[in-house]
Structure 1
Amino acid sequence: MTPAAAKPLKPLHRRPAPFLLGLLALLGLPALAACTLLEEPAPAPPRQMVTAANPLAAEAGMAMLRQGGSAIDAAIAAELVLGLVEPQSSGIGGGAFLLHYDAAARAVSAYDGRETAPSAADEALFLDAAGEPLAFWDAVVGGRSVGTPGLLRMLEAAHRDHGKLAWSSLFQPAIRLAEEGFAVSPRLHALIAADKYLKRYPATAAYFHDAGGNPLPVGHLLKNQDYADTLRLVAQRGADAFYKGWVALDIVNAVRGAADNPGLLSYPDLRGYHAKRREPLCLPYRRWTVCGMPPPTSGGVAVLQTLKLLEAFDLAALAPAPGESPGAEAIHLVAEASRLAFADRNRFLADSDFVEVPVDRLLDPLYLAARAVLIDPAASMGQASPGLRTPQAHSPAQLNPPSTSHLSVVDAEGNAVSMTASIESAFGARVMVRGFLLNNELTDFSFRPSVDGRPVANRVQPGKRPRSSMSPTLVLDGDGRFVMAIGSPGGSRIIGYTTKAIIAALDWSLTMQQAVALPNFVNRNGATDLEEGTGIEAAKAELEALGHEVNIRGMTSGLHGIRRIANGPQGGGLEGGADPRREGVVLSE
């Protein structure tokens, strides 16, 4: 049940009945006692919660929590269902980043399940015979763009560290739904209908279309026995059942056999894949501590940079009134900070296992204080330049179609998960095997390996993880206690969406639902984008007067967050937010 749907319990009577007043008078008791006796207590605030991009996924997570499962258990069950009911966004054929909060230890851990480039790949992977970059969609569709999936290895590692329920039990909701079927949602139907590449490969075409070749209609009962069979194997044997044996061989054959655009993925690539536990990036922001993922995603560094650059400004004074959009002054400051963060992101951020990424220097307080001076409240700086000198070239801009999915979980013990999972663009590489879609994450690499003779940090290298923008985030208070879990899909705009929600919740004291629903505004060191069809469009003229180039465009975020309420009728609890731009919900108990 979402917080908006919860209705407070009403007292049985507004006033004591006359006969009761008389009885109380005979007993010498005050009439107020009747009111007290007849008032029902306020409901206890929720202590465990799941918010995810589909109601069926959120329910699968809640089912694990009801059984005494941990936040990790719930996240795994929810993500396995998302791979079925929201196949265009994430799944076992892709990867993820996950932050976990341990309430007992008051500690954050970070898990990297990002895909890796095949061992046979090189810098020319996305170049044509003349050495020029391929057209984006020519690179995406087929086996060339498929990296080694990392999701299951990552989930297995996180479960080993923090799971409570049996691994096999976490797969049962997704297996049951796959076998019994689920109703095609309006969003899934619309995306199928709009995609011109889904008929490229027979297995994908047959799954998403009826016998006449038409997109599956809304409400169609879609079953997926192949997915159920794959999950059953992994439930019984662990992630090895995916990375070794027949499943792995089928993945390799599908990638290498993709007509017109075969890929390089090999059986040893799958056998040798390792999820990584990394050190989270945590910095103070005003009276809180904000934690994000380190490279190979750029999200943690960019979100933290943007927030720290804004600390010198009184954002609380610029809070929009409830139900209103942020004003031009607030948008301007956030956009200018984001310009600076993206200038550094586009130059320096990549897989730190392969190239030097100066994370410590980029997050150094003195460096950020010097960069913040470049923000002029009265005028836009235009395109920002990186703040450090390195031999690396600027990463050329290329398409980054939004897809992906985010979920947040808090269990009864106060442990929390913020996880963003993806197969990259909607429907990934459009290659389907054993009931799931394969990713096209390799197109997150820079197609050009060098610019003006200087190497691009995010160039293709064998075994390397492509740069991401996924930004799962945890916020703690000054004592290290959980405050908030947040994140979003949305391509490189994920960074702006997540930053917006953090500022709205922390600086502007909006509820979690208000923070995620607030109109979006993003700057990626270019034009400032304002969300089409919302009140934020009114800021366009004023922003242009400050020197911004402004675009009005659709901005379909998928923010899902949970926040701890410090004070309440029962001593505090949780509140959640699900992005109204998608099909997500908040469930709690």
Structure 2
Amino acid sequence: MAAADALPAVLQQAMAAEDINPEAGTGRIERPVAHARHDMVSSANPLASRAGLQILRQGGSAADAAIAMQMVLNLVEPQSSGIGGGAFIVTYDARQRRVRSYDGRETAPAAARSDRFMRDGHAMPFMAAVNSGLSVGTPGVLRALALMHAREGHLPWKTLFQPAIRLAEQGFKVSPRLHALLEQNQALRKQPAAAAYFYNAQGQAWPVGYRLRNPALAQVLRGIAERGPDAFYKGEVARDIVAAIAHHAVPGDMTLADLSGYRALERAPLCAPYRSAYTLCGPPPPSSGPLTVIQMLEILTHTPIDRYPVDSVQAVHYFAEAGKLAYADRDLYVADPAFVKVPVKDLLSPGYLALRATLIEPGRSMGPALPGDPARMRMLRGAGNTPEIPSTSHLVVVDDHANVVSMTTTIESAFGSKIFVDGFLLNNQLTDFSLSDVDAQGRPVANRVEPLKRPRSSMAPMLILKHDKPYMAIGSPGGSAIINYVAKAVRGVLDRGLNIQEAIDLPNLGSRNRGLEIEKYTALHRLIPGLRAMGYTVHERDFPSGLQGVVITPQGLEGGADPRREGLAIGD
């Protein structure tokens, strides 16, 4: 039986949903690598990038610019991220010469139970879970940004909201990508508040170039600018959020206490050496992204992958097999560390990863990989069914003092839960939990729903040090495929000697331990017969990654923005 055919039904639904409603753009936008001498920003939308650069020119830090960029992204890229969602952030604090990590992941309401997405003993249909009040987690991004600002900000908090407030009041032109996503999204049309903002009276998406104003969001942002995050987590906005969730056709159970009690966390960053010169850093669990990227890259050091061209059958084979091994571990072991033990040290042990690499055979696919057992925990846990639909955003900032921010931010699937409140969308992040709480053998799933728990993520904002100094910042949206996107780009720069734009441009590929996926309409298409001969089930897919990255070189800064989206890397 082909690997894809053996997937649980809920994962097949999720993969189908990616094809029906992908985070697709309007084709590639070819662009050269960007250069700057002093500072640089890269984000998924030019308006957000320009807002970040404006803040840097006013004397702001990288943290300040990132906050301004996120507020603009909330407005101009509402399908991907915003104040109704969450984020993971990794930074380099030049003043203290240290890497920091901030966890703004959403949490389950206190009333949530492990059978939240179960009906009659079975996981409910994935899209039914997404488009409901049950899917909304307590938003975390504002608390995380405020925590980062307290540690690393320079300009007043209020100043950072002005670009987004002006744009919300004056309006912005609907982009081709936003228009395309609105056109194809039927669930958004069924939510009256969202439909009134995103569509005209005839239910048609606003055309490309239409000036879309959002005075409700401007008012909310003005309150947050003046009074801080409490203007969101307490008071009128909080009451509106709770009411909207409670009055959905499939109501949720978030309370005012859930909102007022939310706390972002500063966690010790997850860092590991790579090759002889580099250190790879990112947020630790509940994000599985950096951990899994590091596993993949270290496993690949034990293979001959770099003897082969990047677009060869052998290079694709080794990359896919390393991905299978790392994803298998991720799926079993990674969840919120406040609820389960995540054996991070064991999973990153050089001896363990060298042993995992011996499972890769040069001439054939191993099929679906089994998780390893570095800490003798495997038989105690069940593997869950945790679909992740791609709709997220990434931004990078480097300021002229060598402070760095790499931030991945999300409301989960395209337009989140579709619940629109006071000018912004609420996330559907709780569908990043396993939809079932036990596996077929009745073993508890690490990433099951529990009260106040943070769902596992694949977000992988990465910061790479070279000889203990910031060298590269990278990240991407893309659901669980984020890990493969980031690993591809990091290897492109560190192991293949490409510039950041060339590395981002490489065709997307990899295995999430469920067949081999390659990007449509790329040079990888010609490899399909050879890959099938090695035993792979090959899926050609739309892979609209949104990689944004910056590399710090002796000659200055180099920036890259994914040609699959509308982003921009610029600097001074």
Which residue in 2 is equivalent to 1:418?
Answer: 406
Partner of 1:97: 88
Q: Deviations over 1:293-314 (max 9, x none)?
A: 1111110110010011111234
User: Given that residues 3 and 575 in structure 1 are in contact (C-alpha distance below 8 angstroms), is that contact kept between their aligned partners in structure 2?
Assistant: no
CA offsets per residue over residues 29-66 of structure 1, 9 Å max, x none? xxxxxxxxxxxxxxx94220000000000000000110
Which of 161, 184, 199 is 1:194 aligned to? 184
Shift in Å at residue 397 of structure 1?
3.5
Match of 2:383 among 386, 395, 401: 395
Matching of residue 278 in structure 1 with residue 263 in structure 2 = no
Taking structure 1 as the reference length, the TM-score comes to 0.90
458, 466, 469: which one aligns with 2:447 = 458
Matches of 1:461 and 1:302 in 2, distance apart?
24
Q: For the structure 1 residues 346 and 407, does the alpha-carbon distance in structure 2 shift closer, same or farther, using more than 3 Å as the test?
A: same
State the alpha-carbon separation in 2 of the partners of residues 121 and 180 from structure 1.
40
Task: Confirm or deny that 1:116 pairs with 2:104.
Answer: no
Q: Match for residue 266 of structure 1?
A: 255
Offset at residue 279 of structure 1 (A)? 1.0
| Alignment partners' CA distance in 1, 2:96 and 2:388 | 38
SS in 1 for 2:118: coil
Aligned to 2:38: 47
Matched, 1:582 2:560: no
Name which of 57, 72, 75 aligns with 1:81.
72
Q: Could you tell me how far 1:103 is from its partner in structure 2?
A: 2.5
Alignment of 1:54-203 (within 5 A): 54-128=45-119, 130-203=120-193
Aligned to 1:509: 497
Is there any run of 5+ residues in structure 2 with no aligned partner, and where? 1-29
Alignment correspondent of 1:303: 293
Q: Which residue number in structure 1 is paired with residue 14 of structure 2? A: none
- Aligned position for 1:4: 32
Does the CA contact (< 8 Å) of 1:348 and 1:392 recur in 2? no
**1:213-232 superposed matches below 5 A:** 213-232=203-222
Deviations 1:529-552 (A, max 9, x none): 110001111221222222222111
- The whole-number CA distance in structure 2 between the counterparts of 1:145 and 1:416 is 33
- TM-score, normalising length from structure 2? 0.92
- The structural deviation recorded for 1:382 is 1.2
What's the counterpart of residue 472 of structure 1? Answer: 461
- Structure-2 change in CA distance of 1:183 and 1:392 (3 Å): farther
Given the alignment of the two structures, is residue 541 of structure 1 paired with residue 529 of structure 2, yes or no?
yes
Distance 1:313 1:475 in 2: 22
Q: How does 1:276-425 map to 2 (within 5 A)?
A: 276-286=265-275, 287-320=277-310, 326-388=311-373, 389-390=376-377, 391-425=379-413
Return the offset for 1:319.
Answer: 4.4
Q: What is the alpha-carbon distance in structure 1 between the residues aligned to residue 264 and residue 531 of structure 2?
A: 44
Cα contact 1:144–1:263 (8 A) shared by 2:
yes
Percent identity between the two aligned chains: 53
Cα distance between partner residues in 2 of 1:348 and 1:499: 20
Q: Which residue of 2 aligns with 1:522?
A: 510
What amino acid is the match of 1:490?
G
Whole-angstrom distance in 1 between the partners of 2:489 and 2:369: 24
Instruction: Kindly indicate whether structure 1 or structure 2 has the higher relative contact order, using CA contacts under 8 Å at least 6 residues apart.
Output: 2
Count of paired positions: 538
Report if the CA contact (8 A) 2:387-2:431 is conserved. no
State the AA in 2 paired with 1:240. D
- Determine helix, strand or coil for the equivalent of 1:198: helix
Instruction: Tell me the SS of whatever aligns to 2:381.
Output: coil
1:297·1:468 contact (CA, 8 Å) conserved in 2? yes
Three-state SS of the structure 1 residue aligned to 2:371 is coil
Residue type of the alignment partner of 1:124: D
Instruction: Give the Cα separation in 2 of the matches to 1:342 and 1:316.
Output: 22
**Corresponding residue SS for 1:308:** helix
**Partner SS state of residue 488, structure 2:** helix
Rg larger for: 1
What displacement does 1:426 show? 0.2
How large is the RMSD of aligned CA atoms in angstroms? 1.4
Whichever residue aligns with residue 199 of structure 2, its letter is: H
- The one-letter amino acid paired with 2:261 is G
Farther off after superposition, 578-587 or 304-313: 304-313
Alpha-carbon displacement from aligned partner over 1:341-395 (angstroms, at most 9, x marks no partner): 0110110110011111111111111111111111222222111111114244343
- State the 1:88 CA deviation: 0.4
Q: Which one-letter code corresponds to 2:279 in the other structure?
A: T
User: In the aligned structure 1, how far is the partner of 2:238 from the partner of 2:380?
Assistant: 36
* AA in 2 matched with 1:374: L
- Structure 1 unaligned spans of 5+: 7-43, 321-325, 567-571
User: 1:424-503 residue pairs with structure 2 within 5 A?
Assistant: 424-451=412-439, 452-478=441-467, 480-503=468-491
Counterpart in the other structure of 1:12: none
Please give the alpha-carbon distance, in whole angstroms, between the structure 1 residues aligned to 2:233 and 2:490.
37
User: Counterpart of 2:548?
Assistant: 560
